[in-house]
Amino acid sequence: MSISQHVAVLAFPFGGHAAGLLSVVRRLATATPLTARFSFFNTAKSNESIFSGSKGDVDDKIKAYNVTDGVPEGHVLSGNLPEVVELFLKATPGNFREGMEAAEMESGVRISCLLTDAFLWFAADMAEERCVPWVSIWGSAPFSLAVHVYTDDIRKMVLGANGGIEGHEEQVLDFIPGLSSIRAIDLPEDVVSKNLNSPFAQMLHKMGMNLLRNYLPWLDKQKATSVVYIGFGTMITPSSPELVALAEALEATGLPFLWSLKDSAKDNLPQGFLKRTSLNGKVVPWAPQL
């Protein structure tokens, strides 16, 4: 039977993340046509654990692929979780790219969608490169995700000159919906009080930024149906004169706008356009069309 839909599933192989993601995929597999295929990319150790029990016919649609965990050959692990997480993150996204290419070659069908653990922020760029949808899965409470989405705002409010929260421990996050009773001292260490440059802390920070792509908070402040959206997809870029004409028209109208434009094309915009329109417009390297 030929494959009509090929979904790449990218797992974070620590804690209960991979098992939770597989549970979601199994439910999706039961609701999709027989011709749908889910390629599940995960480390060998994690795959062996979560695929150990048989789940019947639904797993016929799901094929597990092992990606490298980033541990160098002959390396003796200390037994600390941060070490193995850091090694894994250093191996990404290259390990996933290799696995996806192998799955496409084996199946003969290009991947049509990326379904990933939210921690794997780089999947946004991978999906954009392939011109396919990206579905990010967050398995915890939505309010906890808001902490990572608003990390920059939180740090500006509660971090002191020394980089700690001393003197701001009781500061409440009343500017974030649903977190009005949460204090700075209640926040996860990787957000405000630990090594903010650690690989894990940076991963969480980048996750929050990529989930929003830095324009959703701005969109929320605009009136309904008031924003002009401009996007030509990732395959087509208007000529320089066309970009100039479009930019001049946007500036002349004064309407709020969201423009999805490759970074390489920004040099063709009129001089000073980005600065002059910064208050009522956003030019971003990618934005979903729906």
Any idea which residues carry the catalytic annotation?
Answer: 17, 117
76 token code pair = 């003796």
Beta bridge pairs of residue 121: none
**DSSP collapsed to 3 states, the chain:** CCCCEEEEEECCCCCCHHHHHHHHHHHHHHHCCCCEEEEEEEEHHHHHHHCCCCCHHHHHHEEEEEECCCCCCCCCCCCCHHHHHHHHHHHCCHHHHHHHHHHHHHHCCCCCEEEEECCCCCHHHHHHHHCCCEEEECCCCHHHHHHHHCHHHHHHHHCCCCCCCCCCCCCECCCCCCCCCCEHHHCCHHHHCCCCCCHHHHHHHHHHHHHHCCCHHHHHCCCCCCCEEEECCCCCCCCHHHHHHHHHHHHHHCCCEEEECCHHHHHHCCCCHHHHCCCCEEEECCCCCC
Integer-rounded Cα radius of gyration of the chain: 22
Phi, psi of 121 (to 5 degrees): -60, -30
